[in-house]
Every structure is written in C-alpha cells, then in structure tokens.
C-alpha cells in the first residue's frame, strides 16, 4: 500500500513536500481546486529527491493536449522521473462557463486527450511524426524548434483518470 499526502497551498508547497518525504509518505500530490496544480509540484520537486509527485487531479478539458503534454514532460524531467499525471474531466458547467472551453462526450474525449498527449511524447522521444487527428483534437505540426529538450525518464509513469 502506498500513502499520499497533499502539499496544499503553493506558498508552503516546498516545505510541506519535504516534510512528507522525511516522515515516509510515498507521494506528494497537488489538486486543481483553487490553484494550478503544477507550480506547487515544481517547488516540491526542487526540495525533495525520492518522494513521487502527482496531480491528484488536473482538469484536462481546461487545456489542450499539447500544452499539457509540455507541462507533464517538463515536470517529469525536472523531478528526475518522479511525476505521475492525474487527470479529471470536471463537469460541463465548469468546463463551459468557468474555463470557456468546449464540452464533448467526456469518456471518448478523455480517451482522445490521452492518445493525443501520447502522440506528442512519442514525437519528442522517438522521433515519430506528429500525426494525430481525432474527433476533438488534431495535432499535425511539430517542427524541430518546438521539440523539448530530451530526458531519459520517458513520459509520466502513469496517468490516472478521474471523472
């Protein structure tokens, strides 16, 4: 069994993550509730060395697959391979009215979102052509200038999905 702890507010994220690591937690998590979940994880990665880091949820449909692929790739590199991406769909009202993004059919859209991110990661790490076209997302252009610096950790170890 693994035990996770939430790092909470960005202002205390570095210290909280270090405390969680020192007392034996397996992972430090950040949720997208009233703040972006990624900045606290960057701070946590900078002050820890062994604890896993993850988004307990990041709202997928508030972003494009490409922007989230870049963010996850950067966190994976900066954390030394300790990042896990947890995604959530949120509900229609929040996606459409709070984030002003289109709402589709959540399960097929989430599947396509994940496949689109994986296509970007394969392009960057394996040199595969970027040729992803789906019902909700289309990613077909990746010039060398926009390929991020490589790392040896691969894509985030897993992606957990929460509806």
Per-residue pLDDT reduced to its tens digit, 94-152 = 999 999 999 999 999 999 999 999 999 999 999 999 999 999 999 999 999 999 987 77
pLDDT for 2-16, tens place per residue?
999 999 999 999 999
pLDDT at site 154: 66
Residue 149 has a pLDDT of: 85
pLDDT at 160 over 70: no
Question: Is residue 115 within 8 Å of residue 87, measured between CB atoms?
Answer: no
Question: Taking 60 as the threshold, does the pLDDT of residue 163 lie above it?
Answer: no
Q: For the CA atoms of 21, 22, 25, 28, what is the dihedral angle to 10 degrees? A: -30
pTM summary value = 0.91
| CB-based contacts of 88-95 (< 8 A; 24+ apart in sequence) | 88/32, 88/57, 88/58, 88/59, 88/60, 88/161, 88/162, 88/163, 89/59, 89/60, 89/61, 89/161, 89/162, 89/163, 90/59, 90/61, 90/62, 94/59, 95/59, 95/61, 95/62
Read off the pLDDT of residues 22-38 as tens digits, 9 standing for 90 and up: 999 999 999 999 999 99
Q: Which residues pair with 162 in a beta bridge?
A: 88
pLDDT score of 155: 67
> How crowded is residue 104: how many other Cβ atoms within 10 Å of its Cβ?
17
Question: Which domains does the chain carry?
Answer: 4-162 (3.20.20.30)
Q: Which two tokens stand for residue 79?
A: 């954390």
E strand or H helix at 133:
strand 132-133
Angle at 58 between CA 53 and CA 60, to 5 degrees: 135
Nearest CA to 115 among 84, 62, 69, 75? 69
pLDDT digits (tens, 9 = 90+) for 68-101: 999 999 999 999 999 999 999 999 999 999 999 9
Report the first-to-last Cα separation within the chain, whole angstroms: 23
């Amino acid at each position: 069994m693994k035990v996770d702890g939430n790092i909470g507010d960005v202002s205390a994220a570095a210290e909280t993550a270090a405390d969680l690591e020192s007392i034996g937690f397996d992972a430090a998590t950040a949720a997208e509730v009233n703040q972006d979940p990624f900045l606290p994880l960057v701070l946590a990665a900078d002050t820890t060395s062994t604890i896993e880091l993850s988004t307990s949820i990041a709202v997928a449909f508030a972003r494009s697959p490409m922007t989230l692929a870049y963010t996850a790739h950067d966190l994976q590199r900066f954390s030394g391979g300790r990042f896990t991406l947890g995604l959530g769909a949120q509900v229609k009202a929040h996606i459409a009215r709070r984030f002003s993004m289109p709402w589709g059919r959540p399960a097929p859209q989430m599947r396509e979102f994940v496949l689109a991110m994986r296509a970007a990661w394969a392009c960057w790490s394996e040199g595969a052509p970027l040729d992803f076209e789906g019902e909700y997302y289309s990613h077909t252009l990746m010039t060398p200038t926009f390929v991020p610096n490589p790392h040896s950790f691969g894509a985030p170890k897993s992606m957990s999905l929460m509806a």
